[in-house]
Amino acid sequence: MLALLWNASACVRSYLRSHMPTNRLVDWLRTPGGTRWAVPVAVVAIPTYLFAMSICATLVERGGPRLLNCLVAVFAWNSIKFAVLGLWAPVRTLTRWLAKCGDLDV
């Protein structure tokens, strides 16, 4: 039973990693060429996802379909994902720069 759950979760993770647009964008932003775009994308994406989350939560509070709670969770997760990426990108850029300049005697 554990092997079945393990294999099913691996298949779901593989599908979500390769087909969901935000995961593909985050994968691209983690590359050396995309790192310079990580902070601007995060600055735009975080408020957008938080605004969409607040709209869905307001609709649910006012008697809308409770299925929108799933969208609230997805929007919250995506905003957290881009916030971590926006904080991580300058650190990653700095470590790459220091590794490249490590050959110099300062």
14-37 pLDDT per residue, tens: 888 888 889 889 989 999 888 899
69 within a domain of the structure (yes/no): yes
SS3 call for 46: helix
pLDDT of 44 strictly over 60: yes
SS3 call for 75: helix
| CB-count burial class (<10 Å; 0-12, 13-18, 19+) for 34 | middle
Domain count, the chain: 1
85 within a domain of the structure (yes/no): yes
Distance CA 9, CA 7 (A): 5
94 within a domain of the structure (yes/no): yes
Whole-structure pTM value:
0.79
Distance CA 32, CA 22 (A): 18
Instruction: For residue 50, give its domain range.
Output: 22-103
Cα-to-chain-centroid distance, residue 35:
14
53 within a domain of the structure (yes/no): yes
